[in-house]
Amino acid sequence: MIDVERRLVLTYMPTPGAAAALAALFALDDRLAETLRTTSEPMLGQIRMQWWQDALAKLDSAPPPPEPVLVGIASDVLREGVTGAAVGQIVEGWRVLLEAELDEAALRTHGERGRALFALAGRVAGAASTDPLERAGEGWALADLSAKLSDPGEAVAARLMAEAALAEACSARWSRNGRALGAMAQLARMDLAGVAVGSPKRTLRALWHRMTGR
């Protein structure tokens, strides 16, 4: 998702607090992506990912250190029973990409990145129990990954898994409080369909979802 689509999705969140929580989760996801992108040695990458997971878990018992992403998580996400340890599940989805090969099990683990992000954002937003948050999040994460993998076989496998998850998620009618996350699933599905970023068709599809939940 490009920044303009993120801003649009954030306006779909039911309250300013819920929008801030989703923005904080986006910031964490971006930082983990940057950590992976700037790490050349897998062992160093594991150490850096473990630091993030430990730092998130420590938010359950101590104030955040002066690190902007952690401050945002502590102030905007850790409420309504959401814990730092639960947020740390997003790290697992990124950590698995440090492995030499991405088999089906590894790709499903990467899906945890999206499953956790969507579940946490949905909980803060008050999404309905019928909203397919985890399948939508899994599809969103794998669709994003499939476009970035250099290995053709891995890219196809990620794409197929994303298509299945998103088909299920996008067939449901989403509650009003879950529609920001449903719109993210719809946009990810359009990525897989080759609808270019910036196309009016994408904005119209997101708007239609906001109005109807479909």
Give the pLDDT score at 198: 87
Q: 185-202, pLDDT tens digit by residue?
A: 999 999 999 999 889 999
125-130: long-range contacts, CB 8 A cutoff, minimum separation 24: 125/13, 125/14, 125/15, 125/18, 125/21, 125/22, 125/177, 125/178, 125/180, 125/181, 126/14, 126/18, 126/177, 127/174, 127/175, 127/177, 127/178, 127/181, 128/174, 128/175, 128/177, 128/178, 130/172, 130/175
pLDDT surpassing 80 at residue 80? no
Average of per-residue pLDDT values in the chain: 96
Give the pLDDT score at 2: 75
Give the pLDDT score at 100: 78
% of the chain beyond a pLDDT of 70: 100
| Average confidence (pLDDT) over 168-196 | 97
pLDDT surpassing 90 at residue 79? no
pTM for the predicted model, two decimal places: 0.96
pLDDT surpassing 90 at residue 3? no
| Average confidence (pLDDT) over 175-194 | 97
